[in-house]
Chain A
Amino acid sequence: MNIAATAIPKEVKQSQRYRDPRPFSVRFREHMRRNRLAYLLLIPAFVVICATVIYPFIYAFNLATTDTNMYNINSPTKQPQFVGVGNFVEIFSNPEFYTVLGRTILWTAVNVICHVAFGLWLAVLLNRNLKMRGLYRTLLVLPWAIPQLIVAMMWKNEFNTQYGSINLILQSIGLPAIPWLTDPFWAFVAVCITNIWLGIPFMMVIILGGLQSISPEYYEAAQIDGATAWQQFRNITVPFLRPVLTPAIILGTVWTFNNLNIIYLITKGGPNNGTQILVTYVYRAAFDFYRYGYAAAFSVVIFLILLIFCLFYIRATRGAQEV
């Protein structure tokens, strides 16, 4: 009898399970022999993942424990020194870190909330029997199709205090011009507006897909049960969207938290560091101050923050569960 192939019923408790008495090396060889083709087929993907994910990941962790910088990275005389948790101590003892962290959380929260709210609103509208629905959908997805560089340049011009169309409109109705890119508060508002505009299509498309997968019979049953439009939304739409929204919100949060492009291209973190978020701070540490070890440690901190967020979010929403 082929012992390895014998199915063990799920109900059998761990302690009652059959244990193969053969040595590990024998079992391993047999396992490899039986699954040789499967492992062969996995090798190309494994190599690519090693090169693009696992190696940079380990490298970054390693770099974070050194004082690598522009002067010692390729120097024949000076070698980067192992500093242990020195970089981390420096990060957490720097009061600016907490300011930037707070701003990053605010930036992420504002963006993701607006992405979800507007995305949901537009998706619900598009899910109705509208005339020219295809045209609206195409127009609304358009921001997504434009390269971020172009979007940033376009909005940067729109926010220009003198000739940007937003201020021209405001002035034409008698309101004062807003110093969009020169005042830290308004600069933060400006980058938020740009990123919200840019991120809505993704959320809208994801939510629209989720909405379209909800059988109309649930709404019909709820209508017969006496549910109002709001009660239908709360009791059917939201729970049914949860499995779609959970990964979308996680992705949206990670992308927004790490979104360098928009802020870098519009304000470069300024004015007066008013739009600096963690990732632009890392960029500055790495490519303006050339402190690679410090920047890597900062990246590790960002990674841990996002990891903790994801774990809490999945647990809190139970969104990973099937509806």
Chain B
Amino acid sequence: MAEVRLVNLAKAFGPVQILKGIDLTIPDGEFVVLLGPSGCGKTTTLRLIAGLEEATSGEIFIGERKVNDLPPKERDIAMVFQSYALYPHMTVFDNMAFGLRLHGVRREEVDRRVMEAAEMLELTPLLARKPRALSGGQRQRVAVGRAIVRNPKVFLMDEPLSNLDAKLRVQTRVELSKLHMKLGVTTIYVTHDQMEAMTLGNLVVIMNQGIIQQMGTPSDVYDRPANKFVAGFVGSPPMNFFPALVDGEEELFFQMASFRLPVLPERCAALAPYRGKDVVFGIRPEDINMGGGDGAVHIPVTAKVDVLELLGAEIFLYLSSPEGIFVASSASQKLLSQKFLKLKATAVSFIARVDPSTPAKEGDSVQVVFNLGRSHAFDADSERAIY
């Protein structure tokens, strides 16, 4: 087991800068998930750690050793590939034993370790089979088995569940979690599936455009996103964003194109510098509910149901707010008039995740309540979280 440390790590393929100097410390024994959209640099990061790509600049440490110049076999890592990369001409046993044999491990020891891993992964009855005679889930387990027999310091996993069907993916996710708890080996797992990231990782690293956007526990990145990208990427359906103006004198308001929400008193200090400026108001679909409001934290907004999606345990309401009356404070009215015109052009549609017993129908006009206690605000230019 070992800590993995990346220092100002950069990678360019020709003129294309894939990684733009990332710093990351993965503590010993943690299950860290690199999460991000396609092309964000997460797989490149993994391949740099594995030694399959050469860094343009920066340093990689595994434990105390700088490994930049070491070939993959000397880094003491094991990798599970997206396609599993099982050797089709070898049996399951030979696939798992291949690395050990190359390292000159004695035959009895090879047998013992392969049998032990096969037992752990319930592969024992399949050891004589070739990969083509296995199901997707079994192949995935063999790929994991091949990695664990070598007792590496670090496991690297590159979207290992992406070729499985939805049901098997959930099942395998649980198995991987259990395996990590049992082995306690530092694991770096790459995925673009946020569900996998949130359920598997002790820590989640969100990446975009070659930059780490945020690193934290799953609840950190969900409840306290560092910026608008993280807020929008984590969560399904994604967070609702409303372009807004911060308006008011003593009390502050978010002025949207067609409705207005008060800023909670404890958030006023953070938003005060934004008075009269553009911000982005964000709220997750589960923080918008049906019903009345208390006028303080739970603020009612009238909206029309465009589409209703029933998912069994919940309903997604795709809503649009009807045009309302723009009321700005007299002091900022002049200042806001131009920006208001811009706001008016922005469609105000949003999603609410509500109880399945909700009697709403498509086309209905309903009153929904925004839970401002769980809302977010982002700087309109830098997109950083204000709170």
Stretch at the interface among B71-79, B195-203, B279-287, B311-319: B71-79
Q: Mark B32-68 against chain A: 1 for CB-CB distance below 8 A, else 0.
A: 0000000000000000001110000000000000000
Secondary structure call for the A interface: helix
Asked if B103 is an interface residue, CB under 8 A from chain A, the answer is: yes
B72 contacts across to A, CB distance below 8 A: 220, 223-224
Please give the distance in Å from B152's CB to the nearest CB on chain A: 9
Interface stretch (choices B80-88, B230-238, B249-257, B266-274)? B80-88
A162 part of interface (Cβ distance < 8 Å): no
Q: Is A218 an interface residue (CB 8 A)?
A: yes
Given A224-B50, A225-B102: A217 touches B73 (CB 8 Å cut-off): no
Which chain B residue has the least Cβ–Cβ distance from A232? B102
Q: Does A322 contact B (CB under 8 A)?
A: yes
CA separation between A80 and B72, bound complex, in Å? 74
Contact partners of A273 in chain B: CB under 8 A: none
* B53 CB → nearest A CB, Å: 10
Chain B residue numbers with a CB within 8 Å of A322 are 132
Choose one: B79, B82, B89; the contact of A323 (CB below 8 Å).
B89
Q: Mark A180-221, 1 if CB is under 8 A from B, else 0.
A: 000000000000000000000000000000000001011011
Minimum C-beta distance from A128 to chain B (A) = 16
CB neighbors of A among B330-360 (8 A):
none
- In whole angstroms, how far apart are the Cα atoms of A223 and B47 in the complex? 12
On chain B, the residues within 8 Å of A225 by CB distance are 73, 98-99, 102, 146, 150
Assign chain B's interface to a size class: 20 to 34
Interface size on A, residues (CB 8 A): 19
Residues of A within 8 A of B52 (CB): 220, 223-224
Q: Given contacts A221-B79, A322-B132, is CB(A226)–CB(B85) below 8 Å?
A: no
Taking a contact as CB atoms under 8 Å apart, the answer to whether B89 and A224 are in contact is: no
User: Which listed residue (B71, B78, B87, B150) contacts A235, Cβ 8 A?
Assistant: B87
Contact mask B137-161 → A, CB, 8 Å, 1/0?
A: 0000000001000100000000000
A236 within 8 A of B: yes
Q: Which of B50, B81, B82, B102 contacts A226 (CB 8 A)?
A: B102
Most buried by B among A225, A236, A239: A225
User: Inside 8 A of B89's CB, which chain A residues have their CB?
Assistant: 239-240, 242, 323
Which residues 208-260 of A have a CB within 8 angstroms of B?
Answer: 215, 217-218, 220-227, 231, 235-236, 239-240, 242
Contact indicator B102/A224 (Cβ below 8 Å): no
- Distance in angstroms from A236 CB to nearest chain B CB is 7
A322's nearest neighbour on chain B, judged by CB, is B132
- Tell me the B residues contacting A by CB distance below 8 Å: 50-52, 71-73, 77-79, 81-83, 85, 87-89, 98-99, 102-103, 132, 146, 150
Binding site for B on A (CB under 8 A): 215, 217-218, 220-227, 231, 235-236, 239-240, 242, 322-323
Given contacts A226-B73, A323-B89, 5 further A-B contacts (CB under 8 A): A217-B82, A223-B71, A224-B50, A224-B72, A235-B87
User: Top 4 nearest A-B pairs by Cβ distance?
Assistant: A225-B99, A226-B73, A221-B85, A217-B85
A-B contact pairs, 30 of them (CB 8 A): A217-B82, A217-B83, A217-B85, A218-B85, A220-B72, A221-B79, A221-B81, A221-B85, A221-B146, A222-B98, A223-B51, A223-B73, A224-B51, A224-B52, A224-B72, A224-B77, A224-B99, A225-B73, A225-B99, A225-B102, A225-B146, A226-B73, A226-B99, A227-B73, A235-B87, A236-B87, A239-B87, A240-B89, A322-B132, A323-B89
